[in-house]
Amino acid sequence: MAGPTALVSALHEELAAVLGLMPDEQQQVFGGRSFWRGHLHGHDVVAVLSGIGKVAAATTATALIERFGVQRIVFTGVAGGLAPGVRVGDVVVARQFLQHDMDASPIFPRHEVPGYGRSTFDADTALTDELVRASEQVLRELPATLGLDVTKAFGLDAPRCHQGLLLSGDRFVSTTAESTTLRTVLPDALAVEMEGAAVAQVCHDYGVPLGVLRTISDRADDAAHVDFPHFLREVASRYSGAIVEALLRQK
Ligand code: SAH
Which residues, in sequence order, are bridge partners of residue 211?
74
At 10-47, the pLDDT tens digits run 889 889 999 999 999 999 999 999 999 999 999 999 99
State pTM to two decimals. 0.95
Residue 238 DSSP code: H
Catalytic residue among 14, 25, 90, 112: 14
| Distance of alpha carbon 131 from alpha carbon 204, whole angstroms | 19
Residue 43 lies in a domain: no
Encode burial over 181-198: b for 16+ CB neighbours within 10 A, e otherwise. ebbeebeebbbbbbbbbb
Structural domain contains residue 29: no
Give dist(CA 95, CA 164) in Å, integer.
Answer: 5
What is the tally of structural domains in the chain? 1
Does pLDDT of 154 surpass 90?
Answer: no
Count Cβ atoms below 10 Å from residue 161 Cβ, excluding itself: 20
Model confidence at 143, in pLDDT bands (50, 70, 90)? confident
Q: Has residue 39 been placed in a domain?
A: no
Nearest alpha carbon to residue 17 among 201, 176, 243 = 243
In a domain, 42, yes or no: no
| Domain that includes residue 219, residue range | 77-249
Please choose from 8, 9, 11, 240 the residue to mutate so as to test ligand 1's pocket, defined by most ligand atoms within 8 A of CB: 11
